Chain A
């Protein structure tokens, strides 16, 4: 049985992926924290991705495949985010090249394209990564993606896949969009109601497993069952949309975020104004992936 290393395995998505591929691989995990109720078949190495201990894991275990999920996504300490995501990914890529990894799946995000007024409805993988133009807090996403893409072209023998999924929702994963939709009163911008795409966490685990199985190589957008306007999503997840004037919203959110009363920085407002919807055709054609959960089920999975 091939050896698979999953970084960030104790996170929601990591657990789901581990469970999904449990029979097919000998699973090793890397994460900072412990996994309560860790299944016997998973071997967990408690280490920080930036530390030298991870290299030792590669040296000893020689994994054939790596799934890289060990990134901070829902915290907004910019220093921490940048350090863990960019430095951690950079180290991991070096180890993958040095210790003969054959397959590598890296979880990026569709947010790398940014939400801009001139965005076409269905952006393909060749669209520029514009997120840092209006949302510097998450520019580490674009940096990780760029690092991974450079790696993809530099090592043609390694089947590297970079997945850019749409907003992931579900019980186990913590995402910014999930935190936003779970608010009792959800601030929106008066006069704007962009279309948004969602994917269920278990569909996302399936997409990652499919990528490993087929061994495809390249950059892929991963889309779920479809798109709805933001306010429909808010209604379906059981919240109440509170439309605010943009200037007021920016001023209020900046302060609330600074003192920890609100989960997203003010720059995230662009995602509540303009679409960041992507075209998943390339991934569908390469792996025959089809989401199992409908839009209704996906949205209701975070209903309070």
Chain B
């Protein structure tokens, strides 16, 4: 299932970068597209506004079929303070823009991609796909001047023989 997680992250990262190329962040001195997987970063990495943070949550495995069907919960967290130049009064618009970017990236067709194994160099294509449902949004949380949003996507894959 790690291959499916990696594949979904890379796909979503590339789609978000295509939707809004200027949404970037600096991680240890390097500019990257504005999406990161929390568990893949240093534990000391602080939370940044105006970027997407991906967190893997639930996991279900259905072993009835020829290949085990894996369903994984994916939580995407993001927040904004608005822009300082506008006194933060545009924070609602900026949050809405992030929601729009996420919908455009996650709900764009096709909602599937060939599973890749990135643990080898170069990455190799695997025999099955990764696919996912539409994005579902939770309630917006107001934390002082910051607006916080959590969105959820369910991601599916088949567990191939010998795959961890």
Pairing of A with B: no
Query: Which residues from chain A sit less than 8 Å from chain B, CB to CB?
Result: none
